[in-house]
With several copies, the nearest count.
Chain A
């Protein structure tokens, strides 16, 4: 829960728009949890831990001004970290289908690694706008996962949204669980398909974070605070929320289209 200032010890450009920063950070963390990443002189933004063991890590995709600044952070630069916050993935083994879009692999990858170590059999449906933006495909393969790919422009795998891949998998195979993280519209579709296929699903959700302590209400989503009740929710919980996939709160707290 305490803030610390740490040096970046490793920097990996994962895709043209996505960088991983590794740093020493002692507190124990579980896959699914996030930290508040302070870019000194700039904003502090929530980031899932993409590495929870050894040097911890975050994997940051450019979304706006601060995430763009993050791309220019070099080894030796110092960043502020507080956390870890939030809940974690339930890692019970079995056949798990992971559906990731955009930066969603950042949080799915460490969860998948942990599950693989417990004997889970992993299938990953991985989506991106284009081939070079596919995040952690190799990392998933290294842990023994089968990786099925979709790109919007067809430069790798199937052309189109990742839901085409995941829907096909759900239709043809049996899974014990489905995990998803990505754009909310995508997650909404994935969760609906999972429900139809009677596969218990969970998804990691994003909302504006300020305190990360369940206090300021910035991250409120229906009856939940994403920072303390989430970010991982069951598909059931999410499907029950009229806001999910439709509305989010901007920094002022005003509800705007998601």
Chain B
């Protein structure tokens, strides 16, 4: 039996599998359900100042089994109502992380503060939603803004602050460093990539918002590269997100340098039961790989390769 527990930024999770924001995250009952299905922690839908209905449908487009497009438009009940949901989830014992989004450092700080007041374990700042103009990603693409938002939130809350980064950038490392400078306890990467689907018969984009965000297996290699690059550049923990659907995927992220992972789209393909399945697969697979624990996998591939790929043969090392 491998030890699946991970600890980072002062949190201790029973396993490294976290429900990603925006999936099963509007209601407290769903959050609790996801936790009970086996997640190590659950992240709420990103919550803003006021109720937002989101964009009209179509808001999603499944691309076969490898990709997924969404432009939900950050629907959420608003920070006034939402604490009720968190109370429901916490009452059932769920380890809840609260996600917030805003249009300015002040708004982020205010929302994070109110979120922290609900008793969540940590807050995650959604600085990376690719399809909501002026909210999140526009700020999240500029290192100085990332730093300012993080600093404002850091000053306001006591719980760990996780900054969720966008892959829609030429330099994820600069964004991660900015978050670190601002006092982030951890960064998570990645949110979705700007993407679109066109219906050639109707001659129009499928999503009502036109541009949406790509998630699912298609983005796993991109998320891994972001984690890989960030993990060697910052000292705070990195949470890996993007395209995870199996225990193999989880270990890839851990080995790339992630201290935990978030899982989103796979829930649409495999149902919430995948948390329990991946947890038990992870247990078995770690054993097969000769690893005593999830924690012992973290950064292993970094070590093999750092700083550049070795010229010397290392076949023996792999026995």
A is bound by B: yes
Residues of B within 8 A of A72 (CB): 313, 315
Q: Please state if A41 and B33 are interface contacts (CB–CB under 8 Å).
A: no
Contact across chains for B314 and A41 when beta carbons are under 8 A apart: yes
Which of A158-166, A183-191, A206-214 makes up part of the contact surface?
Answer: A206-214
A211 and B315 form a contact (CB under 8 A): no
Per a CB cutoff under 8 Å, which of B23, B60, B310 touches A41?
A: B310
Given contacts A69-B315, A78-B318, A210-B57, contact A220 B30 (CB under 8 A): yes
Q: Does A113 contact B (CB under 8 A)?
A: no
Docked Cα-Cα span, A253 to B30, in Å, equals 12
How many residues from A make CB contacts under 8 Å with B?
43
Distance A192 CA – B52 CA, assembled complex (angstroms): 35
Q: Is the CB of A5 within 8 A of B23?
A: no
A218 — which chain B residues lie within 8 A by C-beta? 26, 75
Which one of B134-142, B202-210, B229-237 contacts A? B202-210
Q: Across the interface, which residues of A come within 8 angstroms of B316, CB to CB?
A: 74, 77
Are the C-beta atoms of A211 and B59 separated by less than 8 Å? yes
B26 to chain A, nearest CB (A): 4
Q: How large is the interface on B (under 10, 10 to 19, 20 to 34, 35 or more residues)?
A: 35 or more
Contacts of B30 in A (CB 8 A): 217, 220, 225
Give the residue name and chain of the B residue nearest to A40 (CB): B202
Of residues 52 through 85 on chain B, the ones whose CB sits less than 8 Å from some CB of chain A are 52-54, 56-62, 70, 72, 75-78, 81
A63 CB, nearest partner CB in chain B, Å? 15
Binds B, one of A11-19, A146-154, A173-181, A244-252: A244-252
What is the minimal beta-carbon distance from B309 to any residue of chain A, in angstroms? Answer: 7
**Cα A1 to Cα B60 with chains together (Å):** 12
Does A80 interact with chain B (Cβ within 8 Å)?
yes
Residues of chain B lying within 8 A (CB to CB) of residue A236: none
The answer to whether the Cβ of A76 comes within 8 Å of any Cβ in the partner chain is yes
Q: What would 19 more interface pairs be, CB under 8 Å, given A42-B56, A44-B208?
A: A5-B202, A39-B315, A40-B314, A41-B314, A43-B56, A43-B208, A69-B313, A77-B318, A79-B315, A210-B60, A213-B60, A214-B271, A215-B24, A216-B72, A250-B53, A252-B52, A253-B26, A254-B77, A254-B81
A-B contact pairs, 17 of them (CB 8 A): A2-B62, A3-B62, A38-B58, A40-B315, A42-B56, A45-B57, A80-B58, A80-B199, A213-B60, A214-B268, A216-B26, A218-B75, A252-B52, A252-B77, A252-B78, A253-B26, A254-B78
